[in-house]
Structures are given as structure tokens and as C-alpha cells.
Amino acid sequence: AQSVAQPEDQVNVAEGNPLTVKCTYSVSGNPYLFWYVQYPNRGLQFLLKYITGDNLVKGSYGFEAEFNKSQTSFHLKKPSALVSDSALYFCAVRDPYYGQNFVFGPGTRLSVLP
Amino acid sequence: NAGVTQTPKFRVLKTGQSMTLLCAQDMNHEYMYWYRQDPGMGLRLIHYSVGEGTTAKGEVPDGYNVSRLKKQNFLLGLESAAPSQTSVYFCASSVSAMADTQYFGPGTRLTVL
């Protein structure tokens, strides 16, 4: 079965510093991997995805993520954090062997401190 | 372009009452989904639809029913609400299948007393 883990409930980082939000996954086949962000009282917004090809994926708002097959990870990164990046971040995976189920991680709350 | 809209935004029910949540999308997407979001659990798929007139069960379908009579609308029904169904419900849509980005509505906060 497919699963997603986000080992940190909360990540705190100072404005201007690099940030990393971790994600690991477990699937049977080749995964489709996604990152979404949720601001307070809002729906989820798409940030980026990995389907195939280059392991480094660039997305919205300066975020990027690196697919690492050997470590089954897909960590979200940004070189310089902004206070406005403070939000709840979700990693999600789709396994082509398991149909339409789109499995989300539990979320990581990012706080960027001024 | 409204994207994905959900009605209502908030609702309080008593145990045993019924209600329907409406999701509408104006992007001509084939696929639509209903999720529930609970603290510390991420989003869990309730039901989904791969096209007008079709529905299928997701991870947590019990206690819910859905209908997709029109391509742009996806309805989620609770026949007899239970406190365990207190949650935030999100609708999403996508162009087609596996690799596609999902677009989410703003959510409906449901409380069952």
C-alpha cells in the first residue's frame, strides 16, 4: 500500500534562511509526487510535482523539491524563506498501481520568524 | 473564473440529520473528488468521480453518498450525520488522471453535535 510520512509536525526558520520540509513515501511502483500548501481557512494550493525526468523540480513561489529514489524522499526546499511562506504544507503521492487514491501526508506547519 | 466553489462554507448539524454539500467547478474537468481533513491526519479521500454519471469509493466512504449528474457538479451527502463526521470537507477537480494537478475548493466546515 502507498503511504506518505512527514516526520516533522512543525518547522521553524528565520526569515532569509533556507528552509526544508521533509517528506518520505512508500509505493509499489514509480510514484507521482506532489507538494501542496494550505493557508489559514483556505483550500490547498498546488506548489509542484514530480512525474518523471529531472529529479530537481521547481515550482511556485521559489520552492523546489528533489526526488531521491534510493531514499524514497521528496523534500521541499527554498533558498530564502519569507514570513509569507508560513503555512501548512502537505506532501502527497499517487501510485499508478493503486488507481485514483491520492494519499496525503499529515502536514507540516512552517513558521517563518521575522 | 471561479475555479472550484463549495456550498455552504459552514454548517452545524445535530446527530441524525442529513445534508448535502455542493461542489461546482467551471474548468471543464473530468475528475472530481471529495476529501475530509482532520487534525494530524492530512486529507483522506471519501469518494471520487472520473466523469459525469460515475462515482467510486475512496479511502473512507462509509456514511457518505455522492452523485455526479452534471459534469460541473459533485454532491456529497450525509444521510444520518454522526459526531465522527465533524470535519472540514474539501472538494477538488482535475483534468484527468494520475499525473494531473488537483484544484481545491475553499472547504466546508461541518460540526455534528
Peptide bond connecting B8 to the previous residue in cis, omega within 30 degrees of 0 = yes
If you average pLDDT over residues B46-67, what whole number do you get?
94
Average pLDDT score over residue span B86-91: 96
Q: Which one of A46, A104, A106 has the shortest CB-CB distance to B101?
A: A46
pLDDT at residue B24, rounded to an integer = 97
**According to the model, what pLDDT value does residue B1 have?**
63
DSSP string, B17-30: --EEEEEEESS--S
Q: What is the pLDDT of residue A37?
A: 96
The alpha carbon of residue A112 is apart from the nearest alpha carbon of chain B, in Å, by 20
Instruction: Round to whole Å and give the CA distance between B54 and B29.
Output: 14
Q: Is the pLDDT of residue A17 over 90?
A: yes
Residues in A closer than 8 angstroms to B55, CB to CB, are none
- Which of residues 7 through 66 in chain A touch B, CB cutoff 8 A? 9, 32, 34, 36, 41-46, 49, 51
